[in-house]
Amino acid sequence: MELVLRSLIACLPLIVALGIAGCDKPKQDNEQASAVNNVTQAPAFPTAPAGDGVDRSHKGEAMPAMPFAQPGGAPATLTSFRGHPVLVNLWATWCAPCVKELPALDALAAGSTGRMAVIAVSQDMNGDADVQPFWKSHGIKALTAYTDKANKLMNAMGAAELPVTVLYDSKGKEVWRVAGGKDWTGPEMAKLIAETK
């Protein structure tokens, strides 16, 4: 009996590993398309103060010169916006917090003309095919629908999640970054943005 118990105990890690492996589900061919259906369940903006979660570990780093696309596919770069502060938001149509904060980003862009560039760059793998109809259906007016189908800008920035927003000063140096949806028209975010002045 003791020999049987020892054998079972010795095999326990293998049994557990096989059980866990059996729980894996194959990924869907188009994860982005399936996630679009869940966008309507966007959570409210975080109630924690805006200063919480502000990442300054990249402060002073130069903005990446990695190209992304303008509507229609012509290349664009962040460096072309130097001379004013630049707020860069990486987002996707299938990301609920991204969708939740877009109207506030659009309002910020409308009120920042000539003082700060607000750049929203979609990480949707279908580029304009996903973003242009989305822009129209959500009434986004002040923001330009930039895209980065290969997620090169996201990789160059070292971003691990969406949405992520990075503020650069007028010389193209990073000031801070935040992850998650924010109310970009609120006083807390206005105070953070004012750090570039």
Beta carbons of 132 and 147 less than 8 angstroms apart: no
d(CA 115, CA 26): 47
> Taking all residues of the chain, what is their mean pLDDT, rounded to a whole number?
80
DSSP secondary structure string, 139-177? T--SS-EEE-TT-HHHHHHT--SSSEEEEE-TTSBEEEE
Beta carbons of 163 and 95 less than 8 angstroms apart: yes
CATH superfamily placement of domain 49-196:
Glutaredoxin (3.40.30.10)
8 contacts: CB under 8 Å, gap ≥ 6? none
Domain boundaries, the chain: 49-196
Is residue 30 scored above 80 in pLDDT?
no
Q: Convert the pLDDT of each residue in 110-156 to its tens digit.
A: 999 889 999 999 999 999 999 999 999 999 999 999 999 999 999 99
Mean pLDDT over 69-98 rounds to: 95
The pTM (predicted TM-score) of the whole model is 0.74
d(CA 132, CA 179): 24
Q: Convert the pLDDT of each residue in 99-108 to its tens digit.
A: 999 999 999 9
pLDDT at residue 6 in the model: 46
d(CA 150, CA 50): 30
Query: DSSP code of 53?
Result: T
pLDDT at residue 196 in the model: 84
Q: Where are the alpha helices (DSSP H) in 43-186?
A: 96-111, 128-137, 152-157
Tokens of 184: 């970009």
pLDDT at residue 197 in the model: 66
